[in-house]
Structure 1
Amino acid sequence: MTKAAVVILAGTESHADHGRLANGLEAAKEFAETDGDELEVIFDGAGTQWIPELEDKDSDYHELYQVVKADSSACDYCSDAFGVTDAVADSGIQLVGDHDGHPSIRSLVDDDYEIITF
């Protein structure tokens, strides 16, 4: 059994950002589809901007996102900072702010999660 936390930090501005998102979602999908693995996907920083785009059925990454959506959360502070709090709330993705408004990476490490950032 593997415990993985995939943290999406890439914004939406560049071709490289799109690549990092795609690779992050693809890695998360592999964990999601492996019996016994535990997965957390966290959209943090500029990565929170992806949620409204991924909710769009016309997005190139919508289907991939759907595979990991149930295992996903978003930074409360960063969602506000990047102006996507309402879109995140509308998506059903949980806003997490258990460490000064941000997700606690330490608690994931303490729970033996491998942290993978994209």
Structure 2
Amino acid sequence: MTNAAIIILAGTESHSDLGRLVNGLEAAREFAEHPDDDLELIFDGAGTQWIPELEDEDHDYHELYRSVSDEAAACDYCAGAFGVDDAIGDTDVVTVDDNDGHPSVRSLVDDGYDVITF
């Protein structure tokens, strides 16, 4: 059994950001496909901007996102800071605010998760 926390930090501004997003989603899907693994997928910082884009059925990576979106959460503070809090509120993605409005990375480590950032 593996505990993995994948955190998407890449924004939406460049081709390399898209590459980091896709690599993160592919890694998340690999963990999700193993029933004994425990996955946390967190969109944090500028990464929160991806959620409204990926929710669009016409997006090239919508299906990849959908394959792991049940595991997805977003930083509450960053969703507001990047202006996507209302758009995320219209989805099934939960927001987390364990650490002054942000996800608690320390809690993930304390719970035995390997933290992987993209």
Distance (whole Å) between structure 2 residues aligned to residue 30 and residue 105 of structure 1: 21
Is the aligned partner of 1:20 residue 2:26? no
Identity %: 69
Aligned to 1:82: 82
Aligned to 2:62: 62
Unmatched runs of 5 consecutive residues or more in structure 2: none
Aligned to 2:114: 114
Distance (whole Å) between structure 2 residues aligned to residue 71 and residue 35 of structure 1: 13
CA RMSD of the aligned region, Å? 0.4
List per-residue Cα deviations over 1:59-105 (Å, max 9, x = no partner). Answer: 11100001111111000000000000011111110010110100000
Aligned to 1:53: 53
Aligned to 1:39: 39
Is the aligned partner of 1:6 residue 2:6? yes
Deviation of residue 2 (structure 1)?
0.3
SS at match of 2:116: strand
Is the aligned partner of 1:103 residue 2:103? yes
SS at match of 1:108: helix
Unmatched runs of 5 consecutive residues or more in structure 1: none
Q: Which aligned segments of 4 or more residues in structure 1 are displaced greater than 6 angstroms?
A: none
- Supply the AA of the counterpart residue of 2:68: V
Distance (whole Å) between structure 1 residues aligned to residue 89 and residue 58 of structure 2: 20
**Count of residues paired in the alignment:** 118
- Supply the AA of the counterpart residue of 2:88: V
Distance (whole Å) between structure 2 residues aligned to residue 53 and residue 65 of structure 1: 10
